[in-house]
Amino acid sequence: MRLRSLLFAPGDSPRKVAKALEGPADGVVLDLEDAVAPEAKEGARAAIAGMLPELAGRPVVVRVNARGTPWYLPDLAAVVRGAPAAIMLPKCAGPADIAALDHHLEALEVAAGQPPGRTAVLALVTETAASLHGLDYRGASPRLRALCFGAEDLSSDIGVTPRDAAGGYAAPVRQARAAMLLAAAAAGLPALDTPHPDPRDAEGLAREAAEAARDGFAGKLCIHPAQIAPVNAAFTPDAGRQRWARAVVEAFAANPGQGVLSLEGRMVEGLHLRLAQRILQSVEGPERTP
């Protein structure tokens, strides 16, 4: 599953869900959490559970409610049997939340006759100040496929405005963003950037997505279909970058055991191979990259 662009669609809006599924997003996040009011959660849960069997094999993610809420376990029990590609866990406070979700998913997968471990996990890991003390996700679970940055919830939790007039983050939000990028790199996981909050601000979105790609994010969460094309463009390496990456991967494949090679007159080593593989993963997905 490619992760350049993940588009949220509220689980209680069939029209918005249908529109999201028709678009070019790499994945669609059917939302049971923030986009759904408490009194509508049961209906949204039933609606998503009913549609999942028809979406088998598609890159569909379900954002369940946070662990510790009364909706978390009912959400999992309802949707896992429909075999979504992944579960998105909001308000993740640290590896203990991932471990608990891993156990819950394993039990539900077995009960549904699915192979244990088939459901991936994407975790929103910066939505509370407390979560910043638990950012070490090394070895947390093979299910964990990406760490996601959430600026709006974090800003609310610490009582600051997330962005200034120029679009820059408040100091603690910048610190959390950098810490999460380093945590993702340490865990060998892609990092996904927070949504741009204004779907009408095309210029701001393009600037923010380009900065995120430069800083090491692999993709960006989206809240409107109009955001998908510019986000996909920002996180797709240009043709020259792709050619270089493919040449590096092929050179190392042709010279097994070699730590340093000469490619087009320049020395390349392990760090270049890792970068090349990451570039190709952003284009082809991890399943197809050597």
Convert the pLDDT of each residue in 134-148 to its tens digit.
999 999 999 999 999
- pLDDT reading at 187 higher than 70: yes
Mean pLDDT of 59-73: 98
Burial 56-67 (b: 16+ CB within 10 A, else e): eeebbbbbbbbb
Coil vs helix vs strand at 163: strand
Question: Beta-carbon neighbour count of residue 108 at 10 Å?
Answer: 19
Report d(CA 155, CA 85) in Å as an integer: 30
**61 versus 254: which is more confidently predicted?**
61
Whole-number pLDDT of residue 287? 54
Tell me which DSSP letter residue 97 carries. Answer: H
Q: Going along the chain, which residue ranges are E strands?
A: 5-10, 27-31, 60-63, 86-89, 120-124, 144-148, 191-193, 219-222, 260-263, 266-269
Confidence of residue 284 (pLDDT cuts 50, 70, 90): confident
Please write the tens of the pLDDT for every residue from 84-110: 999 999 999 999 999 999 999 999 999
**Is 26 annotated as contributing to ligand binding?**
no
- Give the mean pLDDT of 188-206: 95
- At 71 the pLDDT is 98
Burial, 240: exposed, middle or buried (Cβ in 10 Å; 0-12, 13-18, 19+)? Answer: exposed
Q: How confident is the model at residue 163 (pLDDT cuts 50, 70, 90)?
A: confident
pLDDT of 286 > 60? The answer is no
Residue 282 clears pLDDT 80, i.e. is over it:
no
The Cα 84–Cα 62 span in angstroms is 7
Residue 238 token pair: 């240009």
Give the percent of the chain with pLDDT over 70.
Answer: 98
Average pLDDT taken over every residue of the chain: 93
| Average confidence (pLDDT) over 114-123 | 98
Cα gap 95→136, rounded to integer Å: 7
- Summarize the confidence of residues 26-51 as an average pLDDT: 97
Residue type, 224: H
Which residue in 75, 50, 74 sits closest to 62, CA to CA? Answer: 75
Compare 166 and 69 and report the one with higher pLDDT: 69
> What domains are there in the chain, each with its CATH number?
5-234 (3.20.20.60), 239-284 (no CATH)
